Chain A
Amino acid sequence: MADMQLPVRTRVAALAGRMVAEVSRRAGAGGGSVIGGRVTLAIDPRALELMASGHQVALVSGTNGKTTTTRLLAAALATRGPVSSNSAGANLLPGLVSALSWEKPGAMVALEVDEGLLATAIGTIHPAVVVLLNLSRDQLDRIGEVRLHAEGWRRTLEKATGTSVAANVDDPLVVWAAGASQQVIWVGTGQRWRSDAAACPNCGSRIRWSAAPGDGTAVHWACTGCPLARPEPALWLDGDDLVCADGRRFPIRLRLPGWCNRANATMAAAGVVALGIDAGSAVGAMADVGAVSGRYEVVSVDDVSVRLLLAKNPAGWAETLDLIRPPPIPVVVGINARVADGRDPSWLWDVPFERLRGRLVVATGDRGRDLAVRLRYAEVEHTFMPTYREAVQAAGGAEVDLAANYTSFQDARTALAGHRQRPAGVLRG
């Protein structure tokens, strides 16, 4: 019993946290993990370190794909025994603490971690493996943090000798950060977003992108001023297959749609391979993962079937537009610009909304008017509606795809699916 080895103070802290979380949940105030974790930390500030010790922990971080990758990784770990995970996406300290305070003895642990918190989390938890997905611009009013995160990861991984890293070779910022580690599994995802990696994180020179030698599909990149370049992956995504350097191929069959989720599955597989689990059984176990915290959920609204899609930033939107069903199925797009979204929605102009031509798009959300202007210039037929329900009605089809950014997605779930949430949508983690 891992629990029995913990100091009394930590056990009391964990128990109090669980009780508060349960009360909060029953009161309908949300999942309770954030408030519960806060209580635990207030009683024992060292709770995270102590509760994590003795467990094999995998951390997942990056700008896009954290929640889904963590869910896929947890599914793969579950083939070996009990798993603890912050599956609701609470990825700051209280959320991590809360996930561990519910743990079962001997459980393996899969945690998604906010990219700004990762360095601290590695130093505190001493994970067996860290999965590094990608780093791209997210909130424009806080853009400088992307490079600072990479620097923080790099400094921490240099010292984290007991931690393996599974790192995406198609993101230069990730490669630069992971390169400080002694134990890296390089993973090829074929990531297409590269607008935040034009200048080398190591020396500031230009990064040159080109077709990889001898391979028509992969894209190579190399700095023009220093040796930083795309490492050879040990594991990569090739179409619908996971391929290992030794030549083995495993088909990736997911309920989750699109390239981005196959890339997430590839990263998750690399994480569990680092823990000694076979890649084939890992990928097989991911097949049953369905809706993740409402992403891809289908809800029925006044006889209209609405599929909910989340995209938080230009890199995420580029993928989500791929998942939207073809015309004439109408689309509702919700845009907010609250603190958690970033206050500046100028990024709308980096998203190729031109791809939505040929059907009606209904703009909604706090900043639906900004989107309407963007759609006007994209020459997409559009209208604006102030509420999600009206937007779905105005879309005028039996089936509608609704895509929204972070707090708008939460609002849409609340309005259309009756999903409870905390007010204002800024408290998460």
Chain B
Amino acid sequence: MADAVSIALLYPELLGTYGDGGNATVLAQRLRWRGTPVEVVDVTAGEPVPDSCQVYLMGGGEDGPQALAVRELKAGGALNRAVDAGAAVLAVCAGYQILGREFLGPDGRPHEGLGLLDCSTTRGEGPRRVGELVATPDDSLGIPDLTGYENHAGVTTLGAGARPLGRVVVGRGNDSGNGTEGIVSGRVVGTYLHGPVLARNPALADLILSWVVGPLDLVDDEDVDVLRRERMAAARRPNPIAATRRWGRRHISG
């Protein structure tokens, strides 16, 4: 039996606020369904980050936990070593921001990121960017439109030579004025898409897997095909939140 593909889920307790841990479930199951053995390693704060995994996943979180995560990642340097060795990385929202050159810390000041991606994040004007997000991926990726849900205050500006993950069709994405969403650099992907992104975009999941295991057979994606059609249509309808915003505070009883 071949060695198991190893997927590291980094700091799910710090960067797991928006269900992005589901990306690990999706990747692992899509490998298992094809008969490829896989192991998922949850790395929590205080533990050393292994540098030998083939895929690294990071999700969204609040400002304080985000700053703690970047301190831990910098201390070991394992993620940078793994990327140099050819590992794939998918980083979402707060995770995406800390892979860049600079991000906004909980003190409201710029902090140095890991520098794996040529981008920097500042706080944007106005309210948080919250809602359905649809983006058309960069042609070179060869995958259909991306769908997900964004929820961020940050605005991310890409470096001059950086390649965006896609162009925004509905929503805000990087929101730095040129209609881009996310970033791709080699095998490192940054995005603002929750959902989780790989649950709603199996073609992106398979693209990332193919980088580390080669070509893949098709699997049954009927459930997600239905969901994708539903969400794409919903994203193009007028935003129902605006109409209900004045009732927007919590109305839930325990």
Contacts and interface: CB of A to CB of B under 8 A. Distances in A.
Interface of A: 60-70, 89-92, 112, 114-116, 133, 137-145, 147, 194-196, 198-199, 204-206, 208, 224, 293, 312, 339-340, 343-344, 346-350, 369-370, 372-374, 376-377, 379, 384, 406, 424, 426-429
Given A91-B253, A199-B14, A428-B252, A347 B19 contact: yes
Contacts, number: 155
Contacts of A63: 254
A128 B150 CA distance: 43
- In the A-B complex, the 7 residue pairs with the smallest Cβ-Cβ separation, listed nearest first, are A66-B254, A349-B22, A346-B19, A89-B253, A198-B13, A428-B251, A349-B19
B16 A140 contact: no
A210 to B, nearest CB: 12
B106 A204 contact: yes
Nearest to B253: A89
Given A339-B241, A349-B196, A198 B45 contact: yes
Interface string B236-250: 000001001001111
A61 B17 CA distance: 22
Contacts of B18: 140, 143, 344, 346-347
A312 B252 contact: yes
25 contacts: A60-B254, A67-B253, A89-B253, A114-B253, A138-B250, A139-B250, A139-B252, A196-B17, A204-B106, A206-B68, A293-B253, A312-B252, A339-B241, A340-B252, A343-B130, A344-B194, A346-B18, A346-B22, A346-B194, A347-B18, A349-B196, A369-B230, A373-B223, A374-B199, A376-B224
Contacts of A312: 252
B19 A195 contact: no
B254 A68 contact: yes
B253 A112 contact: yes
A288 B22 CA distance: 41
Nearest to A204: B64
Given A114-B251, A374-B199, 12 more contacts: A89-B253, A90-B253, A92-B251, A196-B17, A198-B14, A199-B14, A206-B68, A346-B149, A348-B22, A349-B199, A369-B227, A426-B244
B227 A116 contact: no
A137 B88 CA distance: 30
A64 B254 contact: yes
Given A199-B14, A427-B247, A343 B21 contact: no
B241 A343 contact: yes
B223 A140 contact: no
Contacts of A196: 17
A339 B254 contact: no
B68 A377 contact: no
Contacts of B223: 369, 372-373, 376
A31 to B, nearest CB: 12
B108 interface: no
Contacts of B25: 349, 377
A61 B196 CA distance: 30
A347 B194 CA distance: 10
B91 interface: no
A206 B45 CA distance: 7
B142 interface: no
A144 B66 CA distance: 13
Interface residues of B, number: 47
Interface string B77-104: 0000000000000000000000000000
Interface in B1-42: 11-14, 16-22, 25-26, 29
Contacts of A147: 62, 64
Contacts of A70: 254
Contacts of B57: none
Contacts of B45: 198-199, 206
A91 B251 CA distance: 8
B179 interface: no
Contacts of A346: 18-20, 22, 149, 194-196
B46 A206 contact: yes
A222 to B, nearest CB: 13
B250 A369 contact: no
A140 B19 contact: yes
B65 interface: yes
Nearest to B226: A369
A349 B21 contact: yes
Nearest to B72: A206
B110 interface: no
Given A112-B253, A133-B254, A140 B17 contact: yes
Interface centre among A68, A140, A199, A293 (most CB of B within 10 A): A199
Contacts of B11: 198
A428 B253 contact: yes
Contacts of A60: 254
A370 B17 contact: no
B52 interface: no
Contacts of A424: 244
Contact of A339 (B224, B227, B247): B247
A357 B144 CA distance: 32
Contacts of B196: 346, 349
A368 to B, nearest CB: 10
B151 A141 contact: yes
B194 A198 contact: no
Contacts of B16: 195, 350
Contact of A204 (B67, B149, B247): B67
Given A144-B62, A199-B68, A349-B196, A427 B251 contact: yes
A343 B18 CA distance: 12
B131 interface: yes
A91 B249 CA distance: 12
Nearest to A70: B254
Interface in B55-71: 62, 64-65, 67-68
Interface centre among A114, A196, A204, A206 (most CB of B within 10 A): A206
A205 B195 CA distance: 28
